[in-house]
Structures are given as structure tokens and as C-alpha cells.
């Protein structure tokens, strides 16, 4: 129930940051996270709700590897 | 200086407004006569249409209401395989509008008309009570250069060409309203060169439609319904700029349902698809054209997603509002 | 080697026992349709939409209060776009606006601060609807209101928490075999809450992201668990979801809000499933929901059955006939994340 999008912090001014999302700059409140310039954050309704630990595309690929390992364990 | 009711009374102030703004910018030998009607030389069958423009804000990145008013009507004429020649422009102006604003809009219309190769040959001005709003109606005439183009003419196997990236106009307006910084510009533009190029390349165009309110999905549904056919498109082939994609991700919008103001689809026989594509790509505003799908048996519009799943696309219901859910 | 292609093939060819997976979150429902995921699955794997549409489960009396504010002199309702088309007992906010009501759509609740400061003579009410993903942002809003000493901005809340709703479904609806857990709610609440539920209810609880690949992988994991008679929590969105979630956000939620019984449109009261402003912050409350809220369920409306996953939207007798997006009977059809609206617009008629 929550549209959220990843973006990269390019500037910080106190509790707000400019976050870069595919050519858009969004003024984002970062009070809910501990983040620094260069971090990727997940943004929902103008606020960063988490610092991302991995690129989404990278994560999806590693999910398939995990599923492979699990299947090997099952058999 | 602000517009007041006397500018619409038909007296001296109206005359001054017409001379100092409209005649100054729209200047042509037909309009300058200031007759009650324009007398025109037209050959053969004509395409004739009208549209009204009420966009706010009046000025936005990549355009303004004046440019929209010219391009919108010009493009509707082109879509019937006609070359646009003459427009009329009717203005409804609320008291309180700045004369400088009207001047800027009229200049923008002049430039757009020049690019499209049309003359504005008749007009009207009314002033009403209000708070400075400006609304424009344009009607237009074009000479048919290629007949038989119709929304009910699409045939199984036809290729669907989209002239460029989706959603730019709507994205530009939403960026301004929701205060998101980017370089997205409205794609407001005349489609005359693309249409001329297709006709000159002897393409047997079956149908052309510009992609405006309701977006690509709505236009494709109109085609499916009118031609009693199915439409199949491929998500992977849809040109969407990264910036528009980013904005849509932020606001929860879908580019398939967002308005453009300078993009079109052309439905052409499969045998001529590549030739048609090159004709569009050679033309101004058609550089990023893609073949996005084809006409098939059945009914309705289906999109093959990047995951190779199948998604049915209906028309737009209601307004495409930003979401957080 | 497991690739997207091999996994898709296996899911398409699955011929084990029938599996009903509840995807709780409206954004998942939307992403499933956008990617055409149902068309990639065997007919024995059914994805059923759940109650994760905060707009759908908000009482109609809440909308009535918003409409009333919008039509009051010197008042303005600020809202997300999602709320505009939902009907109260009579009007939607869109209809109220057409009648001269003062309603503005904001991208972020924090935008309300600027609006209130720019227009000191207007009383603003923010329609604060949502689940745990959005609730911390309302907490931030209260902090900003206090910090800036703003006197003309309050919130009207309809805040719900998802775990009590999922538990309700596990207890009352036996036909759901597994849950695709809401990805972004889980960012806030963490993954560990689902481990206990997996053991208690003996069903897989898999947290998935929102890209097509995320969802396919999550569905595959659920099918794998069920095929092996397993039931466990699996976090497949670790880039964003940690075991304990966002501690800062959780602390902020419970600084300003407290749990309460709450009314879910179409379901009724679920114990402890709501959050409301604590007593000491009542000054910022513009008249929020409570368990006394009422709802007018239109005759023949089957939203309850849809929200609880008992039926698919197409199985409601009104779907596509008396109830369409342009003439919606129930909230599920109106909301952009309501199951019926999404199914209809994607022509699953």
C-alpha cells in the first residue's frame, strides 16, 4: 500500500536532502534514517524511510541464486 | 496593465487590444482586412476541427497555452492526412488578466503557427468577470493530401509506430504542480513534418492519432473499438525517458495514461513498417520513433510486459492523480 | 542454474496442489498487474488481494467529515490523490471540490507546513490515512507543527496496522495458504514479526519487493515451501527490510500515537489494529476515526469478501455491472489500489 522509490542523496541540509531519482531531484526529509551523501535511500511521500543496502537489480539476481541453493538443499 | 470589461465591449479598447496584440503578432493579408469572416482559397476535400484550451498554469516548461492552442488543432488536422492551412483563435479572458501575459501568449501562437505553416485568419475576444484566467478556442482547416485515413481502417497485421517518448507533457505539468525539480519539458509541437514525410514516402497509412488526454492506452482502445480489432504492444519497445519514468515512480503515475502534446501513432501495413519508421525518424520531432506493436485478431489492448507477462490495458478512468498507495 | 526464465517455466508448469496466496499490499496488487504476473503462473497458483488498501478500509463516515471540512468557510482539506474519489455516505472529495469545496492534493504530508504558514487565516486539515509506511511521516508532521508553533493545521487520522489484520484473516479465513507480505510496511516494522506468525499459523510468510523479478521470486519461494510442507518467514527484500525494521521510525510512531481498536470498512472492528494520537496531542486532532465509526455498506456490495480474500473481484455479482470505476458501489472499486478497481481497469472481467 505504499509507493516508494529508490534515489541517491546528492546534498544534505540539516534534516532535508536533495535526492536524485532518474534525473529528478526531490526534496526529501531524512529524519527517519541515518544517511550520508552518496547513500541510496527508499523514499515514500517525501521522506526517506530506509537506507538501501543493495541495488534492486543486484538483489533480484541474488534472489535467484538463493532459490537455487535452497532447491539443492531440498533435494 | 490589466484587462477589464471595456476590453470586451467592442469599442475603442477592444480595437486597441486587437491592433496592438493580435494583429501585431498574427499579421497576414486575410486577417488584416478585419472583415466579418475570412474568405479562403481551398482546393478539394478539407479536414476541419476545433479544440479549446484551459490549461493551468498558463506557462510551463516547454510551452504555454498559446502554443498548445495552435499545435493541438494543427495536429488533429494532420491526423486525417491533411496539411493544415488556416486557424481561427477565440479568446475568453477574465478581468484582471495582464495585457503583457496576453501579448506573450499571442507571440507564442505566432511562432507556433509559423513553424506549422498556418495562418491565423479570424478571431474573437470576450471578457468576463473573474480572476485573470485565460481560455482559448482554435478551429482549423487543412487540405486532404492523403484520403482514407481513419480510426476504423486498421487491419490485422498492421504495424503501430509511436513517434517518440510517452508522457512528457503531463510530466512537465505535474512536476511544476508537485514541485519536483527536473528538466522535463512539455513536448508540445506540430506533427506536420512527420505526416508530410509519411505521405511523401508513399506509405499507405491506415490510421493516425495524436496521443493526448488519456494517454497511449486510451488511444489504442479507441482504435481497437473503432476498427473491431485487437491491439498488441510490447512494453520493452515503448520509448519513455528516464526522467519521466523517475517522476512516475515518485508520484505513482503510469506513463501509458499520461498526456503528450506532440506525439502520434501511425498504423501502417506491415510491409511498409520499416520504410515508415525511417520516414518518421527523419522528421522533426520523430527522431525517437519506435514500432511498438501490431494490430491482431480479437478485441481489446494487450501489452506484453518486460517480464513477458500479458497485461490488458483499459481506457483511463477518472483523472490520473498522484498516489502514495 | 536458476534464472528468471527457469523459475517462470517452473511456475507456469506447476501441477501440485492448489495454492491460494494472499498478497496483502495494494502496491503489490498493482505491480502484479503491471507486470502481467498472473499470466505467468499455473492456474493452480492463485493470487488473492488482501486488505492492504488503506483507502478501501477507511470508514465512509471519515470521508463525510473531510467533505464537511472542505465545504466550511476558511477551511482547506489537504490530502493524497488516493482519497479524492472515495465516496462517503453521499459525496467524494472530488464532488465536494466541484461544489466549491477547498481541497488540495499534496505529494508529501510535510508540504502542509508550508501551506499553513503561507495562509495563516485558513484552517487546514490533513487527511492522514495509511499503514505503518506512512504513519512515521505523520509523526514527523506533528513534530514540525509543534516546532514551528503552527496553530492552523491539524490531522484527521485513519491509521491502521497490518499485523492484527493478517492475524484476523489467519484466524477467520482458513482458505489462504500463504502470505506475500507487504514490502514497504515491513521496511518499518521489520521481518521478525512474521516469524512467530509463520509458526503459529503454519503458513509461509514471504516478504517481497515490488519489481517483477522480486514478486516472481517470492511466489516461487512460497510454492517451494508449500511443496515441501514447510512454513517459515523468508525475507526476500533484504535491500530494504531488516529484521527489526526502522527503529527510529517505530520510536517516533509510538511517541505520538498509541494502539486502539479500529473499524475497518467492510470488516468491522479489529482489536488493537488502529493507531490514534495520544491524549497529550489531542490539540492536533481534527476528529479522527474511532471504533465508534459507522459505515454504510451498499446493498449487494461484496467488498468485505474481496478484502478478506474469500472471493476474487470477478466473483462479486455487482462487478462490472452495477459497480464500475465510473459508478462505484464499494470502496474496492473506487480506490486506485482497491482490488476491484485494479482488476476492472486491467480488464479481468
In a domain, residue C293? The reply is: no
In chain C, the number of structural domains is 3
In a domain, residue C240? The reply is: no
C222-236 mean pLDDT: 96
Q: Quick check: helix, strand or coil at residue C178?
A: strand
Return all residues near C267 (Cβ < 8 A) that are at least 6 apart.
C51, C57, C165, C168, C304, C307, C308
Domain boundaries, chain B: 5-144, 159-313
Name which CATH class applies to B159-313: alpha beta
Whether C134 and C277 map to the same domain: the answer is yes
Whether C147 and C83 map to the same domain: the answer is yes
Gap from A45 CA to chain C (nearest CA, Å): 5
Query: Mutate which of C345, C346, C348, C349 to disrupt the B interface (most B C-beta within 10 Å)?
Result: C345
* Binary contact (B324, A2; C-beta < 8 A): yes
What are the helix (H) ranges across C257-348? 303-307, 331-334, 339-345
Cell of B182: 527536473
Chains in touch with A (3+ beta-carbon pairs under 8 Å) read: B, C
Spans of chain B below 50 pLDDT:
none
Gap from B181 CA to chain A (nearest CA, Å): 5
Inform me whether the C-beta atom of residue C212 falls under 8 Å from chain B C-beta atoms: yes
In a domain, residue C153? The reply is: yes
Residues of A in contact with B252 (CB under 8 A): 3
Residues of C in contact with A14 (CB under 8 A): none
Query: What confidence tier does C132 reach under pLDDT thresholds 50, 70, 90?
Result: very high
Whether C14 and C93 map to the same domain: the answer is no
Gap from B4 CA to chain A (nearest CA, Å): 40
Gap from B18 CA to chain C (nearest CA, Å): 34
Q: What is the CATH number of domain B5-144?
A: 3.30.1330.10
At residue C270, φ and ψ (nearest 5 deg) are -115, 125
* Binary contact (B306, C53; C-beta < 8 A): no
pLDDT in tens, C236-255: 999 999 999 999 999 999 99
Whether C201 and C334 map to the same domain: the answer is no
Residues of A in contact with B251 (CB under 8 A): 3
Domains B5-144 and B159-313 agree in fold: no
Contact B310, B218 (CB under 8 A): no
Averaged pLDDT score across all residues of chain C: 91
Whether C254 and C150 map to the same domain: the answer is yes
Gap from B151 CA to chain C (nearest CA, Å): 22
* Binary contact (A43, B250; C-beta < 8 A): yes
State the pLDDT at residue C340: 87
Half-sphere exposure of B204 (CA within 13 A, CB side): 9
pLDDT in tens, C157-206: 999 999 999 999 999 888 899 999 999 999 999 999 999 999 999 999 99
Q: Are strands C257-264 and C268-277 parallel, antiparallel or unpaired?
A: antiparallel
**In whole angstroms, how large is the CA radius of gyration of chain C?**
20
State the pLDDT at residue B23: 93
Whether C139 and C250 map to the same domain: the answer is yes
In a domain, residue C18? The reply is: yes
Residues of C in contact with A42 (CB under 8 A): 184, 187, 240
Looking up cell 470502496 gives C331
Which of C27, C214, C228 is opposite residue A1, by nearest beta carbon? C27
Gap from A16 CA to chain C (nearest CA, Å): 11
Q: Which residue has better confidence, C10 or B315?
A: C10
State the pLDDT at residue C55: 79
State the pLDDT at residue B319: 62
Chain B, residues 164-203, CB within 8 A of chain A, namely 175, 179-184
Nearest chain C residue to B218, by CA = C345
Q: How far apart are CA B154 and CA B170, in angstroms?
A: 28
Residue C40 burial (10 A CB sphere; 0-12, 13-18, 19+): buried
Whether C205 and C252 map to the same domain: the answer is no
| Helices C111-118 and C135-147, axial angle in degrees (round to 10) | 30
Q: Does position C337 have pLDDT exceeding 70, yes or no?
A: no
Inform me whether the C-beta atom of residue C224 falls under 8 Å from chain A C-beta atoms: yes
User: What is the phi-psi region of residue B235: left when phi exceeds 0, alpha when psi lies from -120 to 50, beta otherwise?
Assistant: alpha
Chains in touch with B (3+ beta-carbon pairs under 8 Å) read: A, C
A41-56 mean pLDDT: 92
Whether C18 and C36 map to the same domain: the answer is yes
Q: Are strands C123-130 and C75-79 parallel, antiparallel or unpaired?
A: parallel
Gap from C10 CA to chain B (nearest CA, Å): 15
State the pLDDT at residue C336: 64
Residues of B in contact with A27 (CB under 8 A): 179
C57-73 mean pLDDT: 92
Residues of B in contact with A44 (CB under 8 A): 324
* Binary contact (A59, C209; C-beta < 8 A): yes
Whether C252 and C150 map to the same domain: the answer is yes
In a domain, residue C224? The reply is: yes
In a domain, residue C50? The reply is: yes
Q: Which residue has better confidence, C294 or B228?
A: B228
Residues of A in contact with C239 (CB under 8 A): 52-56, 58-59
Query: What confidence tier does C349 reach under pLDDT thresholds 50, 70, 90?
Result: very low
Which of C1, C107, C108 is opposite residue A68, by nearest beta carbon? C1
pLDDT in tens, A4-39: 999 999 999 999 999 999 999 999 999 999 999 999
Chains B, C: CB pairs < 8 Å = 93
Chain A residues interacting with chain C (CB cutoff of 8 angstroms): 1-4, 29, 31-34, 42, 44-47, 49-50, 52-60, 63-65, 67-68, 70-71, 74
Look up the CATH number of the domain holding residue C191.
Answer: 3.40.50.11750
Nearest chain A residue to C82, by CA = A1
| DSSP codes of every residue in B36-84 | SS------S-EEEEEEEE--SSSEETTEEHHHHHHHHHHHHHHTTTEEE
Domain boundaries, position C125: 60-161+245-258+273-284
DSSP state of C8: H
Whether C251 and C150 map to the same domain: the answer is yes
Cell of B24: 501585431
Amino acid at each position: 500500500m505504499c509507493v516508494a522509490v529508490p534515489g541517491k542523496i546528492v546534498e544534505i541540509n540539516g534534516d532535508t536532502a536533495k535526492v536524485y531519482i532518474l534525473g529528478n531531484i526531490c526534496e526529501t526529509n531524512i529524519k527517519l534514517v541515518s544517511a550520508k551523501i552518496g547513500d541510496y535511500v527508499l523514499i515514500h511521500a517525501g521522506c526517506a524511510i530506509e537506507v538501501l543496502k543493495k541495488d534492486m537489480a543486484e538483489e533480484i539476481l541474488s534472489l535467484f541464486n538463493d532459490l537455487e541453493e535452497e532447491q539443492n538443499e531440498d533435494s | 496593465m490589466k484587462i477589464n470589461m471595456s476590453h470586451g465591449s467592442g469599442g475603442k479598447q477592444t480595437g486597441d487590444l486587437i491592433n496592438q496584440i493580435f494583429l501585431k503578432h498574427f499579421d497576414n493579408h486575410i486577417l488584416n482586412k478585419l472583415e466579418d469572416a475570412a474568405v479562403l482559397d481551398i482546393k478539394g476535400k478539407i479536414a476541419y476541427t476545433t479544440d479549446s484550451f484551459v490549461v493551468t498554469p498558463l506557462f510551463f516548461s516547454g510551452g504555454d497555452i498559446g502554443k498548445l492552442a495552435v499545435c493541438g488543432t494543427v495536429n488533429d488536422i494532420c491526423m486525417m492526412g491533411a496539411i493544415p492551412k488556416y486557424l481561427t483563435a477565440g479568446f475568453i479572458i477574465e478581468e484582471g488578466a495582464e495585457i503583457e501575459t496576453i501579448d506573450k501568449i499571442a507571440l507564442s501562437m505566432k511562432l507556433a503557427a509559423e513553424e506549422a505553416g498556418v495562418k491565423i485568419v479570424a478571431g474573437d475576444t470576450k471578457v468576463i468577470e473573474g480572476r485573470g484566467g485565460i481560455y482559448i478556442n482554435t478551429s482549423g482547416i487543412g487540405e486532404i493530401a492523403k484520403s482514407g485515413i481513419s480510426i476504423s481502417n486498421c487491419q490485422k497485421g498492421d504495424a503501430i509506430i509511436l513517434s517518440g517518448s510517452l508522457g512528457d507533457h503531463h510530466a512537465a505539468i505535474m512536476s511544476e504542480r508537485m514541485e519536483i525539480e527536473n528538466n522535463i519539458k512539455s513536448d508540445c509541437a506540430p506533427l506536420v513534418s512527420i505526416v508530410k514525410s509519411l505521405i511523401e514516402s508513399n506509405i499507405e497509412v491506415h490510421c493516425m492519432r495524436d496521443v493526448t488526454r488519456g494517454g497511449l492506452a486510451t488511444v489504442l482502445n479507441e482504435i481497437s473499438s473503432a476498427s473491431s480489432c485487437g491491439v498488441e504492444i510490447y512494453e520493452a519497445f515503448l520509448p519513455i525517458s528516464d526522467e519521466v519514468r523517475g517522476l512516475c515512480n515518485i508520484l505513482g503515475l503510469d506513463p501509458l495514461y499520461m498526456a503528450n502534446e506532440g506525439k502520434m501513432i501511425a498504423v501502417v501495413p506491415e510491409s511498409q513498417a520499416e520504410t515508415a519508421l525511417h520516414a518518421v525518424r527523419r522528421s522533426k520531432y520523430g527522431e525517437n520513433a519506435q514500432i511498438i506493436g501490431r494490430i491482431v485478431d480479437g478485441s481489446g489492448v494487450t501489452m506484453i510486459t518486460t517480464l513477458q507477462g500479458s497485461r490488458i490495458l483499459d481506457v483511463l478512468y477518472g483523472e490520473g492523480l498522484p498516489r502514495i498507495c | 542454474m536458476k534464472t528468471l526464465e527457469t523459475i517462470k517455466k517452473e511456475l507456469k508448469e506447476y501441477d501440485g496442489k492448489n495454492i491460494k496466496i494472499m498478497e496483502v499490499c495494494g502496491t503489490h496488487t498493482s505491480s502484479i498487474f503491471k507486470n502481467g504476473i498472473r499470466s505467468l503462473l499455473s492456474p493452480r497458483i492463485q493470487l488473492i488481494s488482501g486488505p492492504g488498501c488503506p483507502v478501501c478500509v477507511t470508514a465512509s463516515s471519515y470521508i463525510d467529515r473531510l467533505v464537511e471540512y472542505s465545504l466550511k468557510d476558511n477551511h482547506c482539506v489537504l490530502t493524497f490523490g488516493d482519497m479524492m474519489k472515495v465516496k462517503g455516505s453521499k459525496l467524494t472529495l472530488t464532488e465536494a471540490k466541484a461544489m466549491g469545496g477547498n481541497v488540495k492534493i499534496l505529494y508529501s504530508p510535510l508540504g502542509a507546513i508550508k501551506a499553513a504558514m503561507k495562509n495563516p487565516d485558513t484552517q487546514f486539515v490533513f487527511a492522514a490515512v495509511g499503514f505503518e509506511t506512512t504513519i512515521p511521516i505523520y509523526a514527523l508532521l506533528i513534530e514540525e507543527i509543534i516546532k514551528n508553533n503552527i496553530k492552523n493545521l491539524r490531522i484527521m487520522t485513519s491509521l491502521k496496522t497490518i499485523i492484527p489484520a493478517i492475524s484476523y484473516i489467519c484466524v477467520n479465513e482458513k482458505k489462504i495458504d500463504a502470505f506475500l507480505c507487504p514490502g514497504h510496511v515491513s521496511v518499518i516494522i521489520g521481518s521478525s514479526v512474521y516469524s512467530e506468525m509463520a509458526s503459529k499459523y503454519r503458513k509461509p510468510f514471504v516478504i517481497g519487493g515490488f519489481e517483477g523479478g522480486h514478486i516472481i521470486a517470492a511466489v516461487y519461494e512460497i510454492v517451494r515451501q508449500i511443496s515441501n510442507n514447510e512454513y517459515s518467514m523468508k525475507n526476500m527484500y533484504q535491500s530494504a527490510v531488516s529484521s527489526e525494521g526502522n527503529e527510529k521510525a517505530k520510536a517516533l510512531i509510538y511517541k505520538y500515537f498509541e494502539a486502539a481498536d479500529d473499524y475497518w470498512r467492510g470488516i468491522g472492528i479489529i482489536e488493537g489494529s488502529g493507531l490514534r494520537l495520544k491524549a497529550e496531542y489531542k490539540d492536533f486532532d481534527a476528529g479522527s476515526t474511532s471504533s465508534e465509526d459507522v459505515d454504510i455498506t451498499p446493498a449487494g456490495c461484496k467488498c468485505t469478501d474481496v478484502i478478506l480474500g474469500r472471493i476474487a473481484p470477478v466473483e462479486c455479482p455487482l462487478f462490472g455491472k452495477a459497480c464500475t470505476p465510473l459508478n462505484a458501489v464499494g470502496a474496492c472499486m473506487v480506490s486506485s489500489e482497491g482490488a476491484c478497481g485494479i482488476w476492472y481497469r486491467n480488464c479481468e472481467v
